[in-house]
Amino acid sequence: MGTIRITTCSFMLSLLLVGNAQAAWTLNLTPGVTEISRSVYNLHMTIFWICVAIGVVVFSIMFWSIFHHRKSRGAKAHNFHEHTLVEVIWTLIPLGILVAMAVPATATLIKMYDPSDAELDVQITGYQWKWRYQYLDQEIDFFSNLSTPREQISNEAQKQAHYLLEVDRHLVLPTDTKIRLLLTANDVIHSWWVPALAVKKDAIPGFINEAWTRIEEPGIYRGQCAELCGVDHGFMPVVVEAVPPAEFEQWLADARAQQDAAAAAAGRSWTLEELMTEGEQVYQRVCAACHQPNGTGMPPAFPALVNSPVVLGDVERHIDIVLNGVQGSAMQAFREQLSAAELAAVITYERNAWGNNTGEAVAPSRIVQLLQGDGQSEQEGGQ
Amino acid sequence: MKETLKRCWQTVLGVLAGFFGVQSEARRERDFREGRALHFIAIGILLATIFVLFVILLVRWALSLGGA
Amino acid sequence: MSTLETTTVTGEQHESHHHGPAAGIGRWLFTTNHKDIGSLYLWFSLLMFLTGGVMALLIRAELFQPGLQLVEPGFFNQMTTMHGLIMVFGAVMPAFVGLANWMIPMMIGAPDMALPRMNNWSFWILPFAFAILISTLFMDGGAPNFGWTFYAPLSTTYAPPSVTYFIFAIHIMGISSIMGAINIIATILNMRAPGMTMMKLPLFVWSWLITAFLLIAVMPVLAGVVTMMLMDIHFGTSFFNAAGGGDPVLFQHVFWFFGHPEVYIMILPAFGIISQIIPTFSRKRLFGYASMVYATASIAILSFLVWAHHMFTVGMPLVGELFFMFATMLIAVPTGVKVFNWVTTMFRGSLTFETPMLFAIAFVVLFTIGGFSGLMLAIAPVDFQYHDTYFVVAHFHYVLVPGAIFAIMAGTYYWLPKWTGHQLNECMGRWHFWLSFIGVNITFFPMHFIGLAGMPRRIPDYALQFADFNMVASIGAFIFGFSQLLFVWNVIHNVRSGEAAPARVWEGAEGLEWEVASPAPYHTFTTPPRVE
């Protein structure tokens, strides 16, 4: 009954306001693809229509007065005032409506706060300005970056359908499975939001938040970071790809194979050209947001790499900065974000692009050595 | 003694009217004529605390009903 | 009485008491006259309103189309931050203090504010605060870019160097507000004319009295939170730094413990102004004076118990979510009492629609719409979808632009003839009203839709499905922005010329301020009036 009413209402609303069902834009909240998102949508529509009803009554009385009780129509002021009973009634009625609203809202909230019996745990970490997804028991770990080309953002190319809502790697999740999401952040506060799942939770550095979802329909669901997190806050979308459980198993296997291949790539030897080609891709994907596609940076926050003393100077220092970041600055540690081959490639690229012609190539094996050796050196430092 | 109790009760009613947001002219005049500002503030703080406790209890009760 | 006494002491004092304003710039720099200081506050807030408005137009111009056209994302963030800070602390709050300075002494039959020298100081530190804040735009690393809510650690560890100047500016603004509030409380409690009992206070005075207490309660909290930031940035503490054992969410709790009462600081005086204007132009007493006062008190009390509804998504425990949801929903009750009272006051009155009344009616309608979206936002599970989207932007702009700012404009038009001695130019007033009304709705109504459709706030570029309504909103913003030039013109024109206004400017107006001549003499009520 309630559902029917709400559907009719939303239909009327769409007739009233949209007019054209084929329009690409929407006016209302999405009902989404989970049980929770549907109850959120129903709550939203109920409270909306309550507000409309109250508004119609209050504004009708007001406009009745405006039309009929105007001085130019000869209206004389009736000097009545104060009527405690009326005032008590118009206080109690809203109170009653609020209590009626609070009941379903509380029930929905309690459901949202129950992540028990989850079958899959995914840790989501916000970075400036990308998301990291770790499937805790499956040992899969990757970053998800905006994949919209810079030319589209700067209006030099036609914008595609999923402009700013597309990433290089989707968060792939199985349908009909209760998934627990553990949210945290590496630097500032981010907020992970997918409207179709009705999940929005802040990712806070140093703390872990919990949320859960159970997606009912396969599909691709897009969202964005919702908490201002710095310059590229508008450029860190979330893309969830929901697939049937069988397909998800297949994806897990492929993803693991891909991780192994990346590790193997670091073991073989690379030519300077190979490193430069790979490095340019990595640079544009990961570094260009701050240091700019042409390496000129945005000083003082993001230093230029062209003619930079770090880039032209000692290679070990350059590697150290890329791997471990710079404490107290916006420069992140990339050791976990990129594979050894990617790290070697991007450092090589920076040292040889835009007129930084050092001619030096950094071998991926050197990076592997450093990544593995670091544990030892830390222990030595501790002794 | 009886007078004090009555005045105290009137102050409580005045503060409650403030919480509720509705008051009649006659009572308001009485509040401002007879009441002491300090009494209103003290009882206001007390009732605000009770209000907070009441909402907390309400939440606990809702949670016990909701099974969480 | 006191005037008579002083005149007998020495001739000099006699002179100084009955002098008109001093000549030249010195009049404004050294003035202790509540009317001069009121004017200073109002002109200053108008200047800040236009400055913040230019920033808003830059934001809307960038958002006119998807893609980055005019400004870099970094500068965009500086604009959203500065727009918010300037509008809240530079435009709305000083405007209300200006109206309070002008009107409260005249409404309660006092010769001036209780602490005139402090009054001068509380105004004159403001231009310095904003000079510091605005100068950050020209600093290395740019102005604050972390939003007007300046959440840590974005505003501490990751902030541009100019954040220290921002903290200093906020401190000065806080000091100014606290001094203003102390002055208003002292004036209302001690300077009322004989017979002007608390229960006869005009509602504008009542609402300011309650606002002033809110200010004194929460401005120190703001000062505290920015000081904690300062300690984190420069002195190695870790209040908000998780790596050092701190908690970034603590920042939000402290900030919003200030921030939510702050929202009411920006709207309660507006309620007061509207409660003066609607009875005047309805030629009818306010329906429930007592309830209006009590509802204001109720809103003030509740404002301290709802702060975390701004933080439903930070991962509070369920108990906390429910507590703040229930408490927040309750605020709808006293707010409803107010709206019903205004409507009932108009009901069976004898209405005319001069410019102040037009703004007041628009206030009631549009503020109520903002109240409705506020009620929707109070429902925690649904707030997860609304939070940090344009739906929130639409909500608080409905409450603050056609809410607070329309009330300020209504008050300005209402009392302007009293200040200048010239009748309003109704025709121009109507033009200003209708253009503002249409502009404000074209700007902010579509934001509800783009918010529900999923557009986050504070982004310089957006996905294609949000494009149409963003374009509409931008067009509306330019209509609204440029129609404010009419307001500037109206005010300046009224100061310079116009038909002479009588003491009782509006037919149905009641209150002491309408007993004095128009324009109000430099010193009013040097002999206190008797209120029967």
A20 burial via Cβ count (<10 Å: 0-12, 13-18, 19+): exposed
Please provide the DSSP assignment of C209-226 as one string. Answer: HHHHHHHHHHHHHHHHHH
When pLDDT is cut at 50, 70 and 90, the band that residue A25 belongs to is low
Interface predicted TM-score (ipTM) of this complex, two decimals: 0.90
C346 touches chain A (CB under 8 A): yes
Q: Do B22 and C294 touch (CB under 8 A)?
A: yes
Looking at residue C60, its pLDDT comes to: 96
In CATH, what number does A2-112 get? Answer: 1.10.287.90
Backbone angles phi, psi at C191, to 5 degrees: -110, 10
Closest-CA distance, A43 to chain C, in angstroms, reads: 7
For the whole model, what pTM was predicted?
A: 0.89
Whether residue A110 has pLDDT greater than 70? yes
- Region A270-280: mean pLDDT is 86
When pLDDT is cut at 50, 70 and 90, the band that residue A377 belongs to is very low
List, for residues A192-241, the tens digit of each pLDDT value. Answer: 999 999 999 999 999 999 999 999 999 999 999 999 999 999 999 999 99
Looking at residue C11, its pLDDT comes to: 36
Q: Do B32 and C298 touch (CB under 8 A)?
A: no
Q: Do B20 and C323 touch (CB under 8 A)?
A: no
What is the third-level CATH fold of C33-514? Answer: Cytochrome C Oxidase; Chain A (1.20.210)
Q: Do C301 and B68 touch (CB under 8 A)?
A: no
B24 CB neighbours in chain C (<8 A) are: 290
C446 touches chain A (CB under 8 A): no
Nearest CA in chain C to A301: C141
Closest-CA distance, A100 to chain B, in angstroms, reads: 13
- pLDDT digit of tens for each residue in chain C (532 aa)? 333 333 333 333 344 455 678 888 889 999 999 999 999 999 999 999 999 999 999 999 999 999 999 999 999 999 999 999 999 999 999 999 999 999 999 999 999 999 999 999 999 999 999 999 999 999 988 999 999 999 989 999 899 999 999 999 999 999 999 999 999 999 999 999 999 988 889 999 999 999 999 999 999 999 999 999 999 999 999 999 998 999 999 999 999 999 999 999 999 999 999 999 999 999 999 998 888 888 898 899 889 999 999 999 999 999 999 999 999 998 888 898 899 999 999 999 999 999 999 999 999 999 999 999 999 999 999 999 999 999 999 999 999 999 999 999 999 999 999 999 999 999 999 999 999 999 999 999 999 999 999 999 999 999 999 999 999 999 999 999 999 999 999 999 999 999 999 999 999 899 999 999 999 999 999 888 988 7
Looking at residue C515, its pLDDT comes to: 92
Lowest model confidence (mean pLDDT) among A16-30, A341-355, C84-98, C334-348: A16-30
Nearest CA in chain C to A95: C333
Task: Provide long-range contacts, Cβ within 8 A and 24+ apart, for C21-25.
Answer: C21/C522
Q: Where are the domains of chain C?
A: 33-514
Which homologous superfamily is A120-260 in? Cupredoxins -  blue copper proteins (2.60.40.420)
Looking at residue A8, its pLDDT comes to: 46
Looking at residue A21, its pLDDT comes to: 36
A:58-77 residues touching chain C, CB 8 A cutoff: 58-59, 61-62, 64-66, 69-72, 75-77
Looking at residue C319, its pLDDT comes to: 92
C189 touches chain B (CB under 8 A): no
Rounded CA separation A294/A291 (Å) = 8
Give rounded-to-5 percent helix, strand, coil for chain B.
85, 0, 15
Question: In sequence order, what are the beta bridge partners of A209?
Answer: A183
Looking at residue A328, its pLDDT comes to: 65
Tokens of B45: 């703080």
Looking at residue B32, its pLDDT comes to: 76
Whether residue A4 has pLDDT greater than 80? no
Rounded CA separation A286/A273 (Å) = 20
A98 touches chain B (CB under 8 A): no
Whether residue A18 has pLDDT greater than 50? no
A77 or A64: whose pLDDT is higher?
A64
Rounded CA separation A248/A265 (Å) = 26
| B32: nearest CB among C198, C318, C334 | C198
| C288: nearest CB among A40, A54, A87 | A87
Q: Catalytic site residues of C? A: 83, 112, 148, 176-177, 260, 262, 264, 275, 309-310, 335, 338, 457
What is the third-level CATH fold of A269-382? Answer: Cytochrome Bc1 Complex; Chain D, domain 2 (1.10.760)
Largest CA distance in chain A: 96
Closest-CA distance, B21 to chain C, in angstroms, reads: 4
A:248-307 residues touching chain C, CB 8 A cutoff: 298, 300-301
When pLDDT is cut at 50, 70 and 90, the band that residue A366 belongs to is confident
Which residues lie below 8 Å from residue C273, measured CB to CB, with a gap of 6+?
A: C99, C204, C360, C407, C408, C410, C411, C414
Looking at residue C298, its pLDDT comes to: 87
Rounded CA separation C164/C161 (Å) = 7
3-state SS, one letter per residue, for C4-64: HHHHHHCHHHHHHHHCCCCCCCHHHHHCCCHHHHHHHHHHHHHHHHHHHHHHHHHHHHHCC
Q: Do A110 and B68 touch (CB under 8 A)?
A: yes
B19 CB neighbours in chain C (<8 A) are: 298, 301
A:126-155 residues touching chain C, CB 8 A cutoff: 128, 152-155
Q: Mean pLDDT across chain A, nearest whole number?
A: 85
Which of C322, C328, C340 is the best mutation test for B, with the most CBs of B within 10 A?
C322
Q: Which residues of A138-147 are buried (b: 16+ CB within 10 A; e: fewer)?
A: bebebbbbbe
Residue A140: DSSP 8-state? E
| B22: nearest CB among A87, A106, A113 | A87
Whether residue A15 has pLDDT greater than 80? no
